Protein backbone atom coordinates (compact mmCIF):
# COMPACT_ATOMS: atom_id res chain seq x y z
CA UNK A 1 0.00 0.00 0.00
CA UNK A 2 1.27 3.52 -0.59
CA UNK A 3 2.71 5.20 2.48
CA UNK A 4 2.83 8.94 1.77
CA UNK A 5 4.71 11.45 3.94
CA UNK A 6 4.86 15.24 3.54
CA UNK A 7 6.40 17.82 5.84
CA UNK A 8 9.59 19.25 7.28
CA UNK A 9 12.47 16.78 7.12
CA UNK A 10 10.82 14.84 4.26
CA UNK A 11 12.50 14.82 0.82
CA UNK A 12 10.18 16.36 -1.76
CA UNK A 13 9.02 14.22 -4.67
CA UNK A 14 11.03 11.17 -3.63
CA UNK A 15 9.74 7.64 -4.16
CA UNK A 16 11.16 4.86 -2.01
CA UNK A 17 10.40 1.23 -2.78
CA UNK A 18 11.11 -0.68 0.42
CA UNK A 19 9.25 -2.74 3.01
CA UNK A 20 7.94 -0.80 6.01
CA UNK A 21 5.26 -1.36 8.59
CA UNK A 22 2.35 0.85 9.59
CA UNK A 23 3.75 0.40 13.10
CA UNK A 24 6.66 2.58 11.96
CA UNK A 25 4.30 5.58 11.92
CA UNK A 26 4.47 6.27 15.66
CA UNK A 27 8.27 6.30 16.11
CA UNK A 28 8.61 8.30 12.88
CA UNK A 29 6.21 10.99 14.08
CA UNK A 30 7.92 11.05 17.50
CA UNK A 31 11.32 11.61 15.91
CA UNK A 32 10.08 14.18 13.38
CA UNK A 33 8.44 16.10 16.25
CA UNK A 34 11.69 16.04 18.24
CA UNK A 35 10.15 14.11 21.13
CA UNK A 36 12.03 11.51 23.19
CA UNK A 37 11.86 7.97 21.81
CA UNK A 38 9.76 5.36 23.60
CA UNK A 39 12.12 2.55 24.66
CA UNK A 40 9.29 0.00 24.55
CA UNK A 41 8.56 0.65 20.89
CA UNK A 42 9.45 -2.30 18.67
CA UNK A 43 9.10 -0.62 15.31
CA UNK A 44 11.51 1.72 13.53
CA UNK A 45 11.52 5.40 12.79
CA UNK A 46 11.57 6.15 9.07
CA UNK A 47 12.75 9.74 9.63
CA UNK A 48 16.26 9.14 8.26
CA UNK A 49 14.83 7.49 5.13
CA UNK A 50 12.32 10.31 4.66
CA UNK A 51 15.15 12.81 4.87
CA UNK A 52 17.56 10.79 2.67
CA UNK A 53 15.65 8.28 0.51
CA UNK A 54 18.91 6.84 -0.85
CA UNK A 55 19.60 5.42 2.64
CA UNK A 56 16.60 3.04 2.41
CA UNK A 57 17.35 -0.67 2.68
CA UNK A 58 14.75 -3.39 2.46
CA UNK A 59 14.05 -5.22 5.67
CA UNK A 60 11.93 -8.05 6.99
CA UNK A 61 8.70 -6.87 8.62
CA UNK A 62 6.68 -8.94 11.07
CA UNK A 63 2.92 -9.30 10.54
CA UNK A 64 1.03 -11.02 13.35
CA UNK A 65 -2.38 -12.59 13.52
CA UNK A 66 -1.72 -14.17 16.92
CA UNK A 67 1.48 -14.93 18.82
CA UNK A 68 1.78 -18.36 17.21
CA UNK A 69 0.51 -17.34 13.77
CA UNK A 70 2.58 -14.75 11.96
CA UNK A 71 4.39 -13.93 8.76
CA UNK A 72 7.63 -12.20 7.92
CA UNK A 73 7.72 -10.29 4.66
CA UNK A 74 10.10 -8.23 2.56
CA UNK A 75 9.98 -7.16 -1.08
CA UNK A 76 10.87 -10.59 -2.41
CA UNK A 77 9.73 -13.17 0.14
CA UNK A 78 6.87 -13.99 2.47
CA UNK A 79 7.43 -16.58 5.18
CA UNK A 80 4.40 -17.78 7.17
CA UNK A 81 4.52 -19.69 10.44
CA UNK A 82 1.42 -21.23 11.98
CA UNK A 83 1.36 -22.32 15.62
CA UNK A 84 0.94 -25.98 14.81
CA UNK A 85 4.31 -25.97 13.04
CA UNK A 86 3.23 -25.45 9.43
CA UNK A 87 5.55 -23.20 7.44
CA UNK A 88 5.05 -21.57 4.07
CA UNK A 89 7.44 -19.63 1.85
CA UNK A 90 6.49 -17.66 -1.24
CA UNK A 91 8.62 -15.90 -3.84
CA UNK A 92 6.58 -12.70 -4.25
CA UNK A 93 8.41 -11.65 -7.42
CA UNK A 94 7.52 -14.82 -9.35
CA UNK A 95 4.42 -15.85 -7.38
CA UNK A 96 2.69 -12.66 -6.12
CA UNK A 97 -0.58 -14.49 -5.43
CA UNK A 98 1.18 -17.08 -3.25
CA UNK A 99 0.12 -20.23 -5.07
CA UNK A 100 3.39 -22.20 -4.82
CA UNK A 101 4.67 -22.96 -1.32
CA UNK A 102 8.47 -23.32 -1.52
CA UNK A 103 8.98 -24.16 2.18
CA UNK A 104 9.78 -27.81 1.56
CA UNK A 105 12.02 -27.39 -1.48
CA UNK A 106 15.67 -28.29 -0.90
CA UNK A 107 17.04 -25.15 -2.55
CA UNK A 108 15.23 -22.95 0.01
CA UNK A 109 16.70 -24.57 3.15
CA UNK A 110 19.09 -21.69 3.88
CA UNK A 111 16.36 -19.08 3.33
CA UNK A 112 13.99 -20.99 5.62
CA UNK A 113 16.69 -21.16 8.31
CA UNK A 114 17.29 -17.42 7.93
CA UNK A 115 13.58 -16.66 8.47
CA UNK A 116 13.44 -19.11 11.40
CA UNK A 117 16.39 -17.33 13.03
CA UNK A 118 14.32 -14.13 12.99
CA UNK A 119 11.35 -15.67 14.84
CA UNK A 120 10.17 -13.63 17.78
CA UNK A 121 10.83 -15.26 21.14
CA UNK A 122 8.08 -13.30 22.91
CA UNK A 123 4.94 -11.52 21.84
CA UNK A 124 2.95 -8.88 23.67
CA UNK A 125 -0.29 -10.20 25.14
CA UNK A 126 -3.02 -10.27 22.54
CA UNK A 127 -6.60 -9.20 23.07
CA UNK A 128 -8.65 -11.57 20.94
CA UNK A 129 -12.29 -12.45 20.43
CA UNK A 130 -14.66 -11.74 23.31
CA UNK A 131 -11.71 -10.90 25.54
CA UNK A 132 -10.93 -7.90 23.32
CA UNK A 133 -14.23 -6.32 24.28
CA UNK A 134 -13.42 -6.81 27.95
CA UNK A 135 -10.10 -4.98 27.94
CA UNK A 136 -9.70 -1.22 28.17
CA UNK A 137 -6.57 0.92 28.28
CA UNK A 138 -5.59 2.57 31.57
CA UNK A 139 -3.48 5.62 30.84
CA UNK A 140 -0.57 6.91 32.88
CA UNK A 141 0.99 9.95 31.24
CA UNK A 142 1.97 8.93 27.69
CA UNK A 143 1.82 5.18 28.35
CA UNK A 144 -1.02 2.74 28.93
CA UNK A 145 -1.66 -0.83 29.97
CA UNK A 146 -4.60 -3.10 29.14
CA UNK A 147 -6.88 -3.93 32.08
CA UNK A 148 -10.06 -6.01 32.41
CA UNK A 149 -13.25 -4.01 32.18
CA UNK A 150 -16.82 -4.88 32.99
CA UNK A 151 -19.87 -2.96 31.89
CA UNK A 152 -21.57 -0.83 34.51
CA UNK A 153 -24.57 -2.48 36.10
CA UNK A 154 -27.91 -1.59 34.56
CA UNK A 155 -29.72 -2.29 37.81
CA UNK A 156 -31.16 0.77 39.48
CA UNK A 157 -29.60 1.71 42.78
CA UNK A 158 -31.71 2.00 45.88
CA UNK A 159 -32.05 5.55 47.11
Q: List pLDDT tens digits, range 101-129.
A: 999 999 999 999 999 988 776 766 654 55
In angstroms, the CA 150 to CA 65 distance is 25
Name the more confident of 22 and 84: 22
Answer whether CATH 3.40.1080.10 is correct for domain 61-117: no
**With bands split at pLDDT 50, 70 and 90, how would you rate the model's confidence at 63?**
confident
- Is the pLDDT at 70 greater than 90? The verdict is no
- pLDDT bin (cut points 50, 70, 90) of residue 69 is confident
With pLDDT > 70 as the criterion, what percentage of the chain qualifies? 79
The string of pLDDT tens digits covering residues 13-57 is: 999 989 999 889 999 999 999 999 888 887 899 999 999 999 999
pLDDT value for 41: 80
Please report the pLDDT score of residue 155 as a whole number: 57
CA 16 to chain CA mean position, Å: 19
Task: Render the burial of 139-156: b for 16+ CB within 10 Å, e for the rest.
Answer: eeeeeeebeeeeeeeeee
Kindly list the domain boundaries of the chain, sorted by start residue.
Answer: 1-59, 61-117
Amino acid sequence: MPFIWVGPGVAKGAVVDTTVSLLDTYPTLVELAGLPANGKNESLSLASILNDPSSARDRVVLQTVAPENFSQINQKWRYIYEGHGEEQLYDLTNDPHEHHNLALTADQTDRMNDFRSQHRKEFAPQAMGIKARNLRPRFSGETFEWHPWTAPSTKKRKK
